[in-house]
């Protein structure tokens, strides 16, 4: 029996999603331990998108195979009873064996949150990226529009990226402000390693007046990571939604972190 599970987590105290050899604290390890307890047999999960150290998720999706029958609420309430406080199961659905949290996904959506004020944040430490000084949100939004569509994003991929190619299709990028907070929302069919954070780092250079609006277009044409801006911190990044074909009847759950 295959189960799809929606989860959220605070990535502040995890060394990323993926389980590691030396017992490092990861989201995958915590989730598999809890699921194995409820299933009463070892469980391995496959996620929609592996997140890095410090990255958060409000809409991560995983799937796993179980040898036992459990009510869907057991995969939520029962699993939560065995998870640490910074991870939670949100919903569970039985799916057909052809479902893959990773390969069946049609799109992924991220939100990046920036605190733009003079003093560093305390309550939102490790939850947002902090930048002081003037930031032109309108310029960032305008610059980001050239990213939309299927293109080669080599200028925004990590040197450690293992993807076969750098072509991805971005559906939209929106940059907005609410008080001292800046939100960057981006949706694509898939992302390269560090792609969102590299895009944010470059957009911030435009917003802070270090580069002109048309610089992002130049970066796309150059196809060279060394010319782009720095990688933005992991603190402000959230995986907020993974989309799937309607035939799987998964919950249309979306929670956008909004600290305004």
Q: Which residues are catalytic?
A: 52
For the four alpha carbons of 60, 88, 251 and 100, in that order, the dihedral sign comes to positive
Cβ atoms 15, 57 nearer than 8 A: no
Collapsing DSSP to helix, strand or coil, 239 comes out as strand
Q: How far apart are CA 74 and CA 40, in angstroms?
A: 12
Return the axis-axis angle of helices 137-144 and 215-222, rounded to nearest 10°: 30
Question: What proportions of the chain, in percent to the nearest 5, are helix, strand and coil?
Answer: 25, 30, 45
The 10 Å CB-count burial string (b at 16+, else e) for 102-133 is eebbeebbbbbbbbbeeeebeebeebbbbbee
């Amino acid at each position: 029996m295959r189960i799809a599970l929606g989860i959220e987590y605070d990535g502040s105290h995890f060394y990323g999603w993926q389980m590691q050899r030396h017992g490092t604290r990861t989201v995958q390890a915590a989730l598999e331990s809890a699921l194995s307890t409820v299933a009463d047999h070892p469980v391995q999960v496959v996620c929609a998108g592996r997140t890095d150290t410090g990255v958060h998720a409000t809409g991560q999706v995983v799937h796993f195979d179980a040898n036992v029958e459990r009510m869907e609420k057991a995969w939520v309430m029962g699993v939560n009873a065995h998870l640490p406080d910074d991870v939670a199961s949100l919903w569970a659905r039985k799916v057909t064996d052809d479902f893959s949290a990773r390969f069946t996904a049609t799109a992924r959506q991220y939100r990046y949150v920036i605190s733009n004020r003079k003093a560093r944040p305390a309550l939102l430490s490790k939850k947002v990226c902090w930048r002081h000084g003037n930031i032109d949100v309108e310029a960032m939004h305008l610059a980001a529009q050239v990213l939309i569509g299927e293109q080669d994003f080599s200028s925004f991929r990590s040197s450690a990226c293992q993807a076969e190619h750098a072509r991805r299709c971005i559906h939209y990028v929106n940059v907005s402000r609410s008080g001292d907070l800046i939100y960057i929302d981006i949706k694509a069919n898939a992302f390269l390693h560090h792609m969102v954070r590299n895009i944010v780092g470059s957009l911030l250079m435009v917003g802070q007046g270090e580069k002109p609006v048309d610089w992002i277009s130049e970066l796309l044409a150059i196809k060279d990571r060394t010319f782009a801006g720095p990688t933005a911190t992991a603190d402000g990044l959230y995986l907020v939604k993974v989309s799937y074909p309607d035939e799987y009847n998964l919950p249309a759950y979306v929670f956008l972190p909004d600290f305004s």
